[in-house]
Amino acid sequence: MSQVILITGIGKRLGLALAQQMLAQGYKVVGTYRTEYPVLTSLKQQGVDLYQVDFYQQAQVDDFIASIKRDYHALRAIIHNASDWLPDNYQLDTDHYAPAEIMQKMMTIHVGIPYQLNLALQSLLIANDNTESNFADIIHISDYVAEKGSKKHIAYAASKTALNSLTMSFSALLAPKVKVNSISPALIKFNEGDDDAYKEKALSKALLPKEAGFNEITQAIEFILNSQFMTGRNLQLDGGRHLK
């Protein structure tokens, strides 16, 4: 029977690339999504088990956790990819979110959800067929700005810093059966609609002026899954931004 990997935020971009890579590696993939995307139909046809969850709704989170514990007896890994990216001046443009709500949302999606899932599903990770060469894993997708901070995304950066702290705490809690690590990329992939001026400014911040690409991150995931001696660490995939 294939080992099960749970990926949050599976419907687009990195989450979609991770799902496709894990499928190619022979894993059983379980994923969450908030919004319907056409590509989800293809994932279902490939055997991915999908759960629609709004992580900002605690009742849905509780139901999702109960479903996972009911439907699966073990997990090979949890990859926390679900994310949101609200600037601190969001309310000035739309009059929709106040600063307190922005901080609450950033801390919920990047800290509260991994915290809850890691605790609630730890028994499934420990139940994974664990031998000397086969760990279970938790992988947090963090961000380069966690160490540098951000003038325009203060709440986002703070929440990713807190996520990195979870990496260290859970690695200590769940050792030696479960490895816990994080990945902190910068500029994974431009979005459609990003203009040339923005791209030029973003690229100039790194020693390696290019997009990382989804493949860089999926290869890092594979390295962590195969590692026999790394836990509580944060892989920096930032193109050398820390030296500019």
**Which of 27, 33, 144, 156 is an active site residue?**
156
Helix (H, G, I), strand (E, B), or coil: what is residue 176? coil
Which residue stretches of the chain are H helix? Answer: 13-24, 39-45, 58-71, 90-94, 99-107, 113-120, 122-126, 145-148, 154-174, 196-203, 214-226
Share above pLDDT 90 across residues of the chain, in percent, rounded to a whole number:
71
Residues comprising the chain, all counted: 244
According to DSSP, the β-strands at 178-185 and 4-7 are unpaired
The maximal CA–CA distance of the chain, rounded, in angstroms, is: 54
Sign of torsion over alpha carbons 140, 146, 151, 154: positive
What string of DSSP letters covers 19-64? Answer: HHHHHHTT-EEEEEESS--THHHHHHHTT-EEEE--TT-HHHHHHH
Is 156 annotated as catalytic? yes
Any idea what the CATH number is for the domain that residue 82 is in?
Answer: 3.40.50.720
Q: Is 24 exposed, middle or buried (0-12, 13-18, 19+ CB in 10 A)?
A: exposed
Query: Which pTM value belongs to this model?
Result: 0.93
Give the structural domain span for 170: 4-243
- Amino acid occupying residue 26: G
SS3 state of residue 141:
strand
pLDDT at 29: 98
Q: What confidence category does residue 139 fall into, taking pLDDT thresholds of 50, 70 and 90?
A: very high
Joined together, the tokens standing for residue 104 give 């609450």
Question: 52: how many CB neighbours lie within 10 A of its CB?
Answer: 13
In angstroms, how far is CA 193 from the centroid of its own chain?
23
Provide CB contacts within 8 A for 3, sequence distance 6+.
Answer: 27, 28, 74, 76, 128, 129
The predicted pLDDT at position 133 comes to: 57
With contact defined as beta carbons under 8 Å apart, do 172 and 221 qualify?
A: no
Mean pLDDT score across all residues of the chain: 91
For the chain, the domain total comes to 1
Contact between residue 26 and residue 2 where contact means Cβ atoms under 8 Å apart: yes
Average pLDDT over residues 163-175: 98
Residue 210's pLDDT is 83
pLDDT at residue 173 tops 60: yes
Cα separation of 82 and 116, whole Å?
Answer: 14
Q: CA 178 to CA 94: how far, in whole Å?
A: 43
